[in-house]
Structure 1
Amino acid sequence: MSPRAGTVGSRRRPSKGDLTSQAILDTAERLLQTRSLDDIAVDELASGAGISRSTFYFHFASREAVLHALSGAILDAVYEAAQAWLRRGNEPPEDSIRRALGATLALWRKHGPVLRAAVRARDTDPLMREFWTGVARRFIDATASQITLERAAGTAPPGPAAKSLATALVSMNEQAFLTRSHTRRSTARDRALVDTLTHIWLRSIYST
C-alpha cells in the first residue's frame, strides 16, 4: 500500500475523503508498476478507486497531482530514514550511515516505479521540477548541517565546504538508488551497494 495520504503522523480516524484519496494513490502506485504515467487515464484511476471521474477531480487536479502526492509521501519516509544518521546521538557514524542507507534503498526498492516516474516527470513538468529541487535542498541542507556539527565536535576533520560535499553525496545516493531500483532484487548486491556507499560517506566526511 502507498504511504497514507494526508494522515501521516495523525491519530485521528481517516475520513471518507482520506480513504478515497488513499484509494486513488494505491491505484496509481499499482498501475505504475507496469505502465508510465502518460499511459494511465484518469478514468482508470477513478475506476480503480471505485469512484466517478468527477469525484476524482474533487481530490486531485490531475494525474500529475497524484504522482506529486505519492512522491511526497515516499520522500518524507526517505527523509525519516535519514534521521538514523542526522540524529545519530552516540551511535557510531558507520552504523548510523549504514542503517540510513539500507532503509533508503529498501524504500527505493518498494516504491521504485513511483520514484522513477517522478524523476522522469521533473524533466517536463515545472511543478515536479520545483518539487524535486525542494526535496534535494532539504536533504542537502540537513546533510551539510550534520557535517558541520560533526566537524565542530571534532568527530570529523576539516574538509571541503560542507554544502558542496553534501551536494555531491546526496546526488550520488539518488543516482545509485535510482539505477539499482531498475534491477532485479538481490540481497547480496543490495548489501554490496550499501557497503560501498557507506564506505564513500565515511571516507568523505570522517576520513576513515
Structure 2
Amino acid sequence: MPPRPSIGTQASQVASRRKRSKGDLTSQAILDTAERLLETRSLDEIAVDELTSGAGVSRSTFYFHYESREAVLLALSERVADAMHESAALWLRRGSEPPEDAIRRALTAALTLWRNHGPVLRAALRARDVNPRMREFWSEVGRRFIDAAAEQIERERAAGLALPGPPDARLLATVLESMNEQACFTQSLSRRSPARDRKLVDALTVIWLRSVYGITQ
C-alpha cells in the first residue's frame, strides 16, 4: 500500500497551479514533520528541536513561521477542517442525489479523513480543553457545521422530504454531529479495517436517515 499523503502534501496538490515560495515550502515541511511525529506521541512530548530537525530548518526559521508548537497544531487543524467541510458538502449540497447516497458518501469521506489524519484531529480536539485559541477555533468549526446541517434539515423539511420537528433542526444537527465526531474519534484509534469502517458508516447512515427523514431500512 502506498504511503498516505499528509495534510500539508494534500494542500500543496490543491495549490499546485501557483508557484510556491520558499516560505510555503518551509511551512509545509514543518507541518508534515509535526503530523508524522503526532502519529506516535502527543504534542507535549514533541520538542521544537525535533520539528526543526525533521523539517531541515533552524530554530530561528521555525519561530519566523510559528510562534509555538501549539501554533503548528492550529495550522494543521485549519487545513484538516477545510477538508472536513468538503466532506460534509456531499450531503449539504446533494442536489438530486438520494439522501441515503449523499449521507453515506459524506460519512465515508469523514471517516476516511479521520483514518488518514486521526493523530492531528485527536491532538486538536484534546488541545481545545486547555488551549483557548484551539477552543475558539473548534467552537467556530462546530458552529459552522451545525448551522449548515440545520439549514439543510430545514430545507429538507420545507420540501416535505424530512420529518418535521421536534426537535428543532439545530438541536438535531448538534446531536448528530456530536455522534459523528465521537464515533469517528473512537474508530480512528483502532487498527484499519475496511469491513469495520463500512459497518460504522452503515450504522451512522441508518441513524441519520431515521432521525432526519424517518426512513427505515
2:87, 2:210 → 1: CA distance?
21
Number of the residue aligned with 2:200: 193
**Structure 2 residue 35 is the aligned partner of structure 1 residue 3:** no
Residues matched between the structures, number: 208
Alignment check: 8 A CA contact 2:7 2:117 kept: no
Match for residue 68 of structure 1 among 59, 69, 74: 74
1:170 Cα deviation from its structure 2 partner = 0.5
In 2: Cα distance, 1:62 partner to 1:174 partner: 27
Percent identity, please.
70
The answer to whether the Cα contact below 8 Å between 1:7 and 1:18 also exists between their aligned partners in 2 is no
Structure 1 match to 2:83 = 77
8 Å contact kept, 1:2–1:29: yes
Match of 1:202 in 2: 209
Q: What CA distance in whole angstroms lies between the structure 2 residues aligned with 1:118 and 1:39?
A: 15
Are 2:30 and 2:51, in contact at CA under 8 Å, matched by a contact in 1? yes
1:177 aligns with 2:184: yes
Deviation at 1:2, TM superposition (A): 2.6
Root-mean-square deviation over aligned CA pairs: 1.4
List 4+ stretches of structure 1 deviating above 2 A: 1-11
Contact 1:98 1:195 in 2 (8 A): yes
Match of 2:151 in 1: 145
- Superposed, 1:9-88 pairs within 5 Å as 10=15, 11-88=17-94
Whether the aligned pair in 1 keeps the contact of 2:8 and 2:32 (CA below 8 Å) is no
How far did 1:3 drift? 2.4
Question: Aligned AA for 1:91?
Answer: E
Aligned residue identity for 1:81? S
What amino acid maps onto 1:42 in structure 2? Answer: V
CA contact (8 A) 1:108 1:178 kept: yes
Question: Shift in Å at residue 7 of structure 1?
Answer: 6.0
TM-score scaled to structure 1, two decimals?
0.96
C-alpha displacement at 1:157, in angstroms? 2.4
TM-superposition CA deviations, 1:130-173 (whole Å, max 9, x none): 11101110100010010011111111121220000000000000
Letter in 2 for 1:180: Q
Amino acid at match of 2:156: E
Give CA-to-partner distance per residue, 1:165-204, whole Å, 9 cap, x none: 0000000000000011111111111100000000000001
- Normalising by structure 2, we get a TM-score of 0.92
Distance in structure 1 (CA, Å) of the matches to 2:214 and 2:53: 54
Residue in 1 that maps onto 2:135 = 129
2:131 matches 1:94: no
Mapped contact 1:2–1:70 kept (Cα < 8 A)? no
Partner letter of residue 48 of structure 1?
A: G
Partner residue, 1:167: 174
CA contact (8 A) 2:151 2:169 kept: yes
SS of the equivalent of 2:7 reads coil
Deviation at 1:47, TM superposition (A): 1.0
